[in-house]
Amino acid sequence: MPLLSVESQLPWLAELAGAPLPNRREEAWRFTDLAPLRDLEPTLLPVVDPLGGVPLPKGVSRLDPAEWAPLLDASLVATGSEAAWPVGLNRAADPQVLALRVTGEADPLELAWDAGSAKGLAALRVLLVLEPGSSLDVLQVVNSSGANCTSLITEVLLAENARLNLGVLALGHGMASLLAHVAVKQEPGSALSCTTATAGWGLVRLEPRVMQSAGSAQTRLRGLQMVDGQQLADTHSFMSFGGPAGELDQVHKVVANGSGRSVFNGAVKVPQAAQQTNASQLSRSLLLSDRARVDTKPELEIVADDVKCAHGATVSQLQANELFYLQSRGIGADQAAHLLLRGYCDEVLRELPAMASAWHPLARLLGDGA
Amino acid sequence: MIRSDAPVLLEINDLCARVEDQPILKGVNLTIRSGEIHAVMGRNGSGKSTLSKVLAGHPAYTVTAGSVLYRGENLLELAPEQRARTGLFLGFQYPVEIAGVNNLEFLRVATNARRTEQGLDELDTFAFEDLVRERLGVVQMDPAFLERGLNEGFSGGEKKRNEILQMALLEPLVAILDETDSGLDIDALRIVAGGVNQLAGPDNATLLVTHYQRLLDLITPDYVHVMAAGRILRTGGKDLALELERDGYDWVDQELARLGAEPAEVG
Amino acid sequence: MSTAATVGDLVSQPYKYGFVTDIQTEKIAKGLSEDVVRLISAKKEEPSFLLDFRLKAYQQWLKMEEPDWAALGHPKIDYQEIIYYAAPKQKDKKASLDEVDPKLLETFEKLGIPLSEQKRLSNVAVDAVFDSVSIATTYKEKLAEHGVIFCSISEAVKEHAVLVERYLGTVVPTSDNYFAALNSAVFSDGSFVFIPKGVECPMELSTYFRINSADTGQFERTLIVAEEGASVSYLEGCTAPMFDTNQLHAAVVELVTLDDASIKYSTVQNWYAGDENGVGGIYNFVTKRGQCRGARSKISWTQVETGSAITWKYPSCVLQGADSVGEFYSVALTNHRQQADTGTKMIHLGPRTRSTIVSKGISAGHSSNSYRGLVQMGTKAIGAKNYSQCDSMLIGDRAAANTYPYIRSQQPDASVEHEASTCRISADQLFYLQSRGIGFEEAVSMMVSGFCRDVFNQLPMEFAAEADKLLALKLEGSVG
Ligand SMILES: Nc1ncnc2c1ncn2[C@@H]1O[C@H](COP(=O)(O)OP(=O)(O)OP(=O)(O)O)[C@@H](O)[C@H]1O
Ligand SMILES: [Mg+2]
């Protein structure tokens, strides 16, 4: 890599973000090198309508700027995300805000972005405001096939008893980067299910951050990240309980192949006010190549005695006894491995909102025609 | 065995109790003399387990009115462990699991606490092992269970047998067995019933909480009580249980309505 | 009756080892400089390789910064306010215990460590370290018959210089971290154990550390080497008087096992923890590391940590030899304002290496108890396995339990499994035990030691009961 390009490109993103790129000496970036961003063309890409011209579904309406302006940033503040570098970058790029209000039982919504093969930075920002008792299934599909970086912030305000099923399906390209930040503020009685699946990106940094402002809400997080080739995928999740009786059910899965690198950091904070919290976090990583690397770091901080908190982490190959069971039924080793891998991934993918099936995520992730 | 001149072991008068702000027991009256076997039946949620736990001194329940005399003394002012040491035993409907606490060691500490109260010598580990092995016979339990954590990973039926083993070791004066029959297989039911019969004698008394006649076929009660809405609604002999088996609890609602009380809360 | 409050009261037991021994002490002036390093070395009449070792470490230390990554809140330590060498005044070298100042013998006796011939613990050899020096080692002759060397490190430096030079600093290099560098520069005493090829050490070895002087740092250095096929079980114990200032304890322990050798290292740490407002207590910043150099060798760490104001300690295993085994069993109890940041590192380098981690943290009062661990599977760790279990018990709603288990794997044919849970003493469990006649206090203590059972089972027999008693002590008190 010519040194010159490094020097000429670096300042653009840093200057745009108003802050130098995160350094690997910072704990939150210890395993993640933003080197691929250095080659980024200093261009802001125009963003096409994520609705693809389709009218908004029933129960979903646009908020006008006067309505959304006071609501913007609220979930970022609640989840302590304001200072994060990817957030700063996105704000600095000043993307148009797609701000939507959800009332009652809304019909499913699909938002799709494809940076294509254009070079440069595409910044997107979505604000979802769910009114009390409303419910919505929303699928965000993010694609890219070129040397670009997609910066996506999704902010969600879940009012009392609102229910959101949020899916993020992000299929990229070896030259492409994705910086995705999801900040959710949940009021009591609300339920969030957030499922993310990423594959194919040269670099992904995914930051799901959830705050139950007064506890008594349900949060379900599912993540699948696949790396191959020289790819790097990093999920830094954060969950905090601002009051009692909150629930978290988190499963994060990794498939690491080729010379891929996978990073998972899962923070869960249960302060004194959060008695009767029930939180579980499971991180499962499949390491399929001896050139790949997996880093996993759960972080549990608990200051309340009447809580149930459990977490687990495993890193291994496919289970030998499961493989053997299939083989003993006459299935060849390769096919058995493939079947197990499918099952492993499908456990997360099938939790994406229903309309995700039209994108055939399993087939595309595993690169087979099935 | 009923003897009207037998000493009263337990005398419950107008007992009322609540959990948090919810009143559950609403005036229970019951007298138990030594040598007697009582059965308490009643719909789910009628307050049977609550009565049992109040008698054992569970801290979640607050007694709001009434009294309980145990051998003529105020039971309610005794700490739970003191009740146990003086011979009141509760076989729990849902025995808890305590991981890491060795079952054998637990049994020994409990037995010695009871023995000390009775003015007997504490048993050392060897003497105690002998005693346990003998008592294991009462419930026909595999000694392997002694080496495990207290109820840790025990099946439902195994936990119940462990409860009876504790009863066999502690030799209580009043044994309250809360649905000790549920979760037992057919052989185990016979074994447990045999154990209870073997331990029942003229100087102690048993209070069985049960839903099923099949236990009462094996352990013949002297009295059968029906609980409803936190009180004892009817008392009879062993035939009352057969009547319930045949007719169910429909009559309870009419009876309660007649008494002007609110209907039983179904849990 | 609120369970949390009452259980909380129970864990607030006064410290029983807080007395000070009134004995004349030879101290050097406060502060650290190259001259102080030279002075310590000269006082101990050390060979030149050791002085060079110390000076190199000192130079490295000067360039390092005190770490703050563990987020331990403590006021800045002034390294010029510490006395780096303090020794009870007594005649040079004790030919026999009869010549040891009776006050010292009495001190250890009061601590439950009788050193005199008649009262010795049978089958346990003890090295007693008072402030900066080792004052006595028992059963030395008997051990020598088996070729086992067990003596203070000062003595080893003189009498077994070749061995010390061969191994010292090879597991924890002088530049490893800030406190290890400091220790390497100023360490005063500690124990040395050498088990020759094929020898199974005939008795438990034990070192007992006692800090007596205020303002004195204790920087002991322990080195244990087990040659091919050798094995040893070693226990260290520690206490300190109550002062309202903080004292620094920065030890380094190095273990080496060659082919088929095994070392079992147990610690019962009960340094003074400060009062309930967090005044005083020991800062315990320790580097402990074992290297399984040989195939099929094994290093096992067991620790019961109940004292110190701040503990910063990660006994680790570098599993280099094929099929070598690392173990870490830990109980950490914190109360009041104590902070413990402890855990382990299992670095799997060789094929088919195996490690097990069992950590039990109990936090009460306003204390903070963190498990921080690293399990690393290197590229050559084919067929390696790790299993970790970290459980926390919380007593009261102001204590913190944190878990930071970090896993890195670069070997697909290695497996890592980590599980963690939190629990408290539930009211139902307490009631169950009470309803069988077991008193409140005993019920709590039964459950706490039940919670710790997996770890206590790993302690040498002689000390398992001791550890149980120590926790019970901390749990003892008046029931409301
Ligand atoms: N800790 C508690 N908190 C709230 N309600 C309680 C509690 N304990 C008991 N109750 C309520 O009190 C009522 C009586 O319960 P109890 O367990 O005594 O019933 P039971 O007669 O033993 O029923 P079953 O036959 O199902 O065992 C039920 O409605 C139950 O839900
Ligand atoms: Mg019941």
Q: Position of tokens 């094995």? A: C231
| B180-189 LR contacts (CB < 8 Å, sep 24+) | B180/B91, B180/B208, B180/B210, B181/B210, B181/B212, B181/B214, B181/B215, B182/B93, B182/B156, B182/B211, B182/B212, B183/B155, B183/B156, B183/B157, B183/B159, B184/B157, B184/B160, B185/B157, B188/B157, B188/B160, B188/B161, B189/B214, B189/B215, B189/B218
Residue C2 alpha carbon to ligand 1 centre in Å: 22
Helix (H) or strand (E) holding A362: helix A361-366
Contact B204, B70 (CB under 8 A): no
Beta bridge partners of A219: A192, A248
In a domain, A369, yes or no: no
Residue A304, amino acid = A
Amino acid C447: pLDDT: 85
For residue A245, report the distance from its CA to the centre of ligand 1, in Å: 22
pTM (2 d.p.): 0.82
Query: Does the pLDDT at position C286 exceed 50?
Result: yes
Q: Is the pLDDT of residue A15 over 80?
A: yes
Chain centroid to Cα C284, Å, comes to 9
Number of structural domains chain A divides into: 1
Full domain range(s) for residue C354:
3-85+155-475
CB-neighbour burial class of residue A369 (10 A; exposed 0-12, middle 13-18, buried 19+):
exposed
Chains C and A touch, using 3 or more CB pairs below 8 Å: yes
Is the residue at A368 inside a domain? no
C-beta atoms surrounding B23 within 10 Å: 14
A·C CB contacts under 8 A: 114
Mean pLDDT highest for which of A300-309, C107-116, C402-411? C402-411
- The helix (H) or strand (E) run that includes residue C206 is strand C204-210
Tokens at residue A226, please? 């696949």
Report residue B199 as tokens: 């331990």
Q: Alpha carbon C351 to chain centroid distance?
A: 29
Q: Which residues of C touch B92 (CB under 8 A)?
A: 432
The upper half-sphere exposure of residue B191, i.e. CA atoms within 13 Å in the direction of its Cβ, equals 21
Tokens coding A67: 């309505």
The phi and psi torsions of B13 (rounded to 5 degrees) equal: -120, 120
What is the rounded distance in angstroms from the CA atom of residue B47 to the CA atom of residue B27?
11
Mean pLDDT of A16-39: 87
Q: Is the Cβ–Cβ distance between B160 and B195 less than 8 Å?
A: no
Residue B265: per-residue pLDDT: 46
Question: Distance between CA C470 and CA C375 in Å, rounded?
Answer: 30
Residues above pLDDT 90, as percent of chain C:
43
Question: Residue C114 domain-assigned?
Answer: no
| Nearest CB to A297 within list C398, C402, C406 | C406
Q: Which of B49, B88, B101 to mutate to test the interface with C (most CBs of C within 10 A)?
A: B101
How high is the mean pLDDT of chain A?
A: 91
Task: Establish whether residue B23 lines the binding site of ligand 1, counting it when its CB lies within 6 angstroms of any ligand atom.
Answer: no
Distance, in Å, from the CA atom of C281 to the CA atom of A328, rounded to the nearest integer, reads 62
Q: Ligand 1 centre from B9 Cα, in Å?
A: 26
How many degrees, rounded to 5, is the angle at CA B143 between CA B138 and CA B146?
A: 105
Complex ipTM value: 0.88
Segment A207-213 mean pLDDT: 98
In angstroms, the CA B63 to CA B76 distance is: 8
| Top mutation candidate among B16, B18, B20, B46 for ligand 1, by most atoms within 8 Å of CB | B46
Question: Does a structural domain hold residue A282?
Answer: yes
Does residue C6 register a pLDDT over 60? Answer: no
**Pair A17, A89: CB distance under 8 Å:** yes
What pLDDT does C455 receive? 87
The average confidence (pLDDT) of chain C is: 83
Per the structure, the count of domains in chain B is 1
Residue nearest to atom 27 of ligand 1 (CA): B44
How many CA within 13 A on the CB side of residue A218?
11
The verdict on residue B211 lying in a domain is yes
Q: Nearest C-alpha of chain A: how many angstroms from C252?
A: 27
- Taking alpha carbons only, the member of A133, A94, A109, A113 closest to residue A61 is A109
Distance B162 CA to ligand 1 centre (A): 23
On whether the CB atoms of residues A171 and A337 are closer than 8 A, the answer is no
∠ CA A287-A289-A290, nearest 5°, is 105
| Contact: A315, C407; criterion CB under 8 Å | yes
- Token duo for residue A89: 């970058």
Distances (CA, A) of C169 to C38, C43, C64, C175, C222: 19, 21, 18, 9, 11
Cα–Cα dist C53/A58, whole Å: 77
Distance CA C456, CA C471 (A): 11
Q: Looking at the domain assignment, is residue B165 inside a domain?
A: no
* pLDDT tens by residue, C159-180: 999 999 999 999 999 999 999 9
Residue at B206 is within a domain? yes
Strand pairing partners for C283?
C248, C310
What is the interface size between B and C, counted as CB pairs within 8 Å? Answer: 83
User: Which residue of A lies nearest to C382 if distances are taken between CA atoms?
Assistant: A290
Residue C248 domain flag: yes
Low-confidence winner among A216-220, C346-350, C443-447 (lowest mean pLDDT): C443-447
Let me know: does C249 contact C285? Beta carbons within 8 Å: yes
d(CA B255, CA C473): 58
Contact indicator for A286, A347 with CB cutoff of 8 Å: no
At residue C480 the predicted structure's pLDDT band, cuts being 50, 70 and 90, is very low
Strand A308-316 vs strand C415-423: parallel, antiparallel, or unpaired? antiparallel
Q: What angle do CA B196, B202, B207 make, to 5 degrees?
A: 45
Q: d(Cα A336, Cα A319) in Å, to the nearest integer?
A: 11
Among chain C residues, the shortest Cα distance to A266 is held by C404
Domain containing B212 equals 8-94+174-259
Range from A23-37, A264-278, B131-145, C229-243 that averages highest in pLDDT: A264-278
Asked if residue C101 belongs to a domain, the reply is: no
Average pLDDT over residues B80-98: 89
Residue type, B169: L
The confidence score (pLDDT) of residue C310 equals 80
- Closest by CA position to B248, among listed B219, B262, B228: B228
Query: Does C427 contact B at CB distance below 8 Å?
Result: yes
Any domain includes C222? yes
Residues of A in contact with C420 (CB under 8 A): 298, 300, 310-312
Report whether residue B45 contacts ligand 1, using a CB cutoff of 6 Å. Answer: yes
Domain count, chain C: 1
**Close Cβ partners of C195 (under 8 Å, ≥ 6 residues apart):** C147, C148, C201, C224, C225, C226, C227, C230, C231, C232, C261
User: Which of A293, A305, A316 minimises the CB distance to C415?
Assistant: A316
Does the beta-carbon distance from C454 to B84 stay under 8 Å? no
User: What residues in C contact A298, CB-CB < 8 Å?
Assistant: 403-405, 418, 420
**Which range marks the domain in which residue A17 is found?**
6-317
Name which of C69, C402, C414 is nearest A300 (Cβ-Cβ): C402
Among C427, C436, C443, which residue's Cα sits nearest to residue B90? C436
* Per-residue model confidence as pLDDT tens digits over C370-413: 999 999 999 999 999 999 999 999 887 888 999 999 999 999 99
Within a domain: A122: yes
Longest dimension (CA), chain C: 68
pLDDT at C194 over 70: yes
Torsional sign, CA A25, A239, A76, A355: positive
Bridge partners, A61 (sequence order): A101
Cα gap A67→A64, rounded to integer Å = 5
Residue A354 near residue A108, CB atoms below 8 Å: yes
Residues 6+ positions from C98 with CB-CB distance below 8 Å: none
Find out whether C26 and C213 touch, Cβ atoms under 8 Å.
no
Q: Which amino acid is at A310?
A: A
8 Å CB contact between A6 and A205: no
Rounded-to-integer distance, Cα A27 and Cα C91, Å: 53
* Residue C20 confidence class, pLDDT cut points 50, 70, 90: low
d(CA C86, CA C211): 10
Q: What is the CATH number of the domain that holds B227?
A: 3.40.50.300
What 8-state DSSP symbol labels residue B74?
Answer: E
Work out the pLDDT band at B109, boundaries 50, 70, 90. confident
On whether residue C267 sits in a domain, the answer given is yes
Q: Nearest-CA residue of chain C relative to B60?
A: C427
One-letter amino acid for residue B17 of the chain: A
Is B120 within the bounds of a domain?
A: no
Task: Evaluate whether residue C119 is within a structural domain.
Answer: no
Cα distance between residue B216 and residue C18, in whole Å: 63
End-to-end CA distance of chain C: 9
Distances (CA, A) of A51 to A113, A138, C39: 9, 12, 78
| Nearest Cα residue in chain C from B56 | C435
Q: What is the pLDDT of residue C18?
A: 63
Instruction: For residues C238 and C253, give the distance between their C-alpha atoms in angstroms, rounded to a whole number.
Output: 14
Rounded CA separation C170/B117 (Å)? 61
Report the distance separating Cα A223 and Cα A198, nearest Å: 8
Collapse the DSSP code of B192 into the 3-class scheme (helix H, G, I; strand E, B; otherwise coil) and give the result. Answer: helix
| Range scoring the smallest mean pLDDT among C253-262, C274-283, C419-428 | C274-283
Q: Are C110 and C103 in contact (CB under 8 A)?
A: no
The conformation of residue B144, written as its DSSP 8-state character, comes to G
pLDDT at residue B105, as a whole number: 82
The two three-digit tokens of residue C31, written as one number: 């502060």
Q: What is the mean pLDDT of residues A283-295?
A: 95
Residue C95 lies in a domain: no
**Helices vs strands, H then E, count in chain A:** 7, 17
Q: Check pLDDT > 80 for residue A327.
A: no
